[in-house]
Structure 1
Amino acid sequence: MTFRRVYHGWCIVLVAFVCHAVNTGLIFYAWSVFLTPLAAVFGGRGRVAGAYASMQLACAAYGIAIGRVVDRRGARPVEIAGAISLATGFLLLARVRSLPALYGCLAVPVALGSTCIGGLPNNAAVARWFVRKRGRALGFSTAGISAGGILFAPLAQFLIERVGWRDAYALLGLTVAALVLPPVLAFMRRDPAELGLLPDGEPPPSSGNPGAGVAFFERERERSVRPQVAVREANFWLLAAPFGLTMAGLSSVLLYQIPLLRDRGMPADRAALVLGATAAMGVVGKLGFGALLDRFDQRRVAAACFCLQAAGVLLLWLGPIHSGPLLACYVVLYGYAMGGNATLQASLVGEAFGRLHYGAIAGRMAPLIVVAQAIGVPATGFVRDLTG
């Protein structure tokens, strides 16, 4: 009996899943849990949200350079450095005593580490290993984003209640290094060509036809758009604008979901579970939209995703969110729709510009998206502080 060897690209997907889960779970979902105790220490949600915005802006600045490094060196060295930087940043957060120190810690080690183990290197890696199956591969890898919310939001709440927010940050910093470094060191590779493979697990060219592999990579080189050219194309701006606006809304909704529910009388542990349930639906959304991207026009899939998110926000705004059935409808609708964002963005960038310069192009697009987030998140916090 013979067994077909598993294509190494799926190991890349697994590593990306873990990195997405750790990065987004701790930087995004767990931040919502830390927001209330941090606001109590550092003078209000608006000020603390400003610190978060400074981290986002720093991530955007780092992304431009890191994207180029990923294209040249691969994701492996970048993610090793990122895990160390993020773990160090969390250990330092456990010791901050002033608002400027909070800003600096988030903007330097935390932002750098987050950028290095986040979507940019992982999506670039998956895009290099998959072409025909890219939607499904990105669906599985970006499902880690939602899985991180399922795991780390309740975990952060548990740790804060047991040991306080400072020791919680220290323990989570050690968790970063323990979860990210082993799989990156063991499995992450730059390109299928390093192992004599082709994208999607296609069989390598036979010895009688060695030119087939060369022809494939020549076609890929011709199809891939250089970053300097990409920023002058309409597709670049038609992708950056809608995803920037969508991410601004998504970040604000999820970051303030727990404070909103707590303000309306929901216990903290239950509010964290609701956020985890929203993230769980995001897993379903990522897998669902990933499959749709490989079968249907990606533009139509993106339009459907954006419309469903808008409907979810409308339900959150108009409905009595303390009502069990309406809250469940919001979790299902918004969770599923917002789950498709990361998969859509990664797939559309690869589809529009090719895989060879993915990192540099995504890195140049990131500041535009992050600026929108950086404006939307603190603005929501200040409005909340003013209106009560």
Structure 2
Amino acid sequence: MAVGVTARTAFSLLFPPILDEFGWERGVTAGAFSFGFLVSAALSPFVGRLMDTRGPRVVIELGVGLLAAGSMLATLVREPWHLYLTLGVLAGVGSNCLGYGGQALYLPNWFVRRRGLAMSIAYAGAGAGSIVLLPWLQTVIAHAGWRAACWNLGLVVLVVLAPLNLLLRHRPEDLGLAPDGNRTSRDDSGEHRPATHVVDAAWVAIDWTLGRAVRTARFWWIGVGYFLGLFAWYAVQVHQTKYLVEIGFSATDAARALGLVSLVAVPGQIGLGHLSDRIGREWVWMIGNVGFALCFVLLLWLRHAPTPALLHLMVVSQGTLGYGLVSVLGAIPAEIFQGRHYGTILGTLMLGAIAGGAAGPWVTGAIHDATGSYTLAFWIGIGGSALSAVAIWLAAPRRVRAVAGRGR
């Protein structure tokens, strides 16, 4: 997570120097990021199926190879389609295998009672990695250019992740364990210890396949919620650095703000993940969307009052609250569709999430190109965040399985 997700986040740092070198329109340039997401979305069901049949070692190592290749081949970019192929398709698909979506395909198998906390700790690695890697990459860009940054990033992916991910396992049963690290799923009395509080026994008893899942309203509400949530997330992430520079902040301050978002995201994700085990997944998803809506409002306000105080408030709202979405990204569908085919179901749901991540940067850039301003795009992000929260409430994982804090 620390390397794989940060490698994708780095597009925000590469965006300004690529624009400066080639003079392409922002919609065209940001479109490479979006196009990579679209290809990732199309491949997500295949990745989910591959996870169900072959496990994380195959999926993650595939991601390592693609991400490293995309980053290193980006040094040869001369035309827009080169950018779309390298930092778009190769790096995008690779990062999807390594990042939030890829990890969510198997981590829920390992944890039940504190699923939200466990997944948020794992996802917080992305923030920890950004704290180290983003300032380093900005330094490389400043002294040697964006191409050198891409090459060095590819090397880091290969050296760090290729050997590390060979240690992964798909399910605890592969090691003779039960979820939550137990040697057995029975307690000291020999009775089965329920790890979750089932609310809808009839729903839980169903052997959920993809075909059955797509015929439910819950499946589609999750898809809508994920699309809109990641639309807002990546609209901010890709355009934030360039926007801050335009309204008067230095390139260094803008890059530092992106790094600070990742820094404050670490305690935010862990705290909200733990909170989701107490109050429910819907509440935390709503809190994350409130964070992004507030972030957009503060970005609009910063144009009129570009002060450090407002900048830091924007960072906190985005990182501490907004990034908390990932702490329940895998937990929400796991509560509803847990079973043998969970990877395939989540992989298909990630079509919506990744499509949102693709649409956010592209729509935001296209609106700026058409209007000369980010104002309309940011208001769209605010509305999308509100609707995303509503969609997950309608999916209602709380009505299938109650989290530990609600089951007492």
What's the TM-score once normalised by structure 1's chain length? 0.87
**Could you tell me which of 276, 281, 288 is aligned with 2:259?**
276
- Among 279, 290, 310, which residue is 2:273 paired with? 290
Segments of structure 2 that go 5 or more residues without pairing to the other structure are 374-408
Q: Distance in 1 between matches of 2:335 and 2:320?
A: 23
2:310 corresponds to which letter in structure 1? L
Alpha-carbon distance in 2 for matches of 1:100, 1:326: 38
Structure 1 position 205, deviation (Å) = 6.0
What number of residue pairs does the alignment pair up?
364
User: Over aligned residue pairs, what C-alpha RMSD do you find?
Assistant: 2.6
Are the structure 2 counterparts of residues 301 and 115 from structure 1 closer, same or farther at C-alpha, using a change threshold of 3 Å? closer
Specify the code of the residue in structure 2 equivalent to 1:375: A
Partner Cα distance (2:136, 2:48) in 1: 31
Give the counterpart letter for 1:203 in structure 2.
R
Note closer, same or farther for the CA distance 1:349–1:112 as it changes in structure 2 (3 Å cut): same
The alpha-carbon deviation at position 383 of structure 1 amounts to 2.5
Counterpart Cα distance in 2 of 1:121 and 1:317: 33
Q: Is the 8 A contact 2:124 2:266 kept in 1?
A: yes
In the TM superposition, what is the alpha-carbon distance from 1:44 to its structure 2 partner?
A: 2.7
User: How many angstroms does 1:226 deviate by?
Assistant: 1.5
Report matched runs for 1:61-80 at 5 Å: 61-80=42-61
Correspondence list, 1:1-388, <5 A: 20-28=1-9, 30-42=10-22, 43-185=24-166, 187-204=167-184, 222=205, 225-319=208-302, 320=304, 322-386=306-370, 387=372
CA–CA separation in structure 2 for the residues paired with 1:164 and 1:77: 33
Judging changes above 3 Å, is the alpha-carbon distance between structure 1 residues 221 and 246 closer, same or farther for their aligned structure 2 residues? closer
- Letter of the 1:191 partner, please give it: R
Query: Is the 8 Å Cα contact of residues 226 and 352 (structure 2) preserved in structure 1?
Result: no
Partner of 1:12: none
Separation (CA, whole Å) in 2 of partners of 1:52 and 1:333: 24
Q: Matched residue of 1:294: which SS? A: helix
Aligned equivalents of 1:26 and 1:113: distance in 2? 10
Question: Quick check: 281-290 or 224-233, which moved more?
Answer: 224-233
What displacement does 1:328 show? 1.7
- Which letter does structure 2 place at the counterpart of 1:372? G
Report the alpha carbon displacement of residue 109 of structure 1 after superposing the two structures with TM.
2.5
Unaligned runs of at least 5 residues, structure 1:
1-19
Identity %: 31
Instruction: Please say if residues 127 and 355 of structure 1, whose CA atoms lie closer than 8 Å, have aligned partners that are also in contact.
Output: no
Question: How far apart in 1 are the matches of 2:244 and 2:117?
Answer: 34
Alpha-carbon shift at residue 286 of structure 1 (Å): 0.7
Measured at CA, do residues 318 and 265 of structure 1 come closer, stay the same or move farther in structure 2, by a change above 3 Å?
A: closer
Letter in 2 for 1:337: L
CA distance 1:369–1:104, change in 2 (3 Å): same
Q: What amino acid maps onto 2:12 in structure 1?
A: S
Q: Which moved more, 1:155-164 or 1:103-112?
A: 103-112
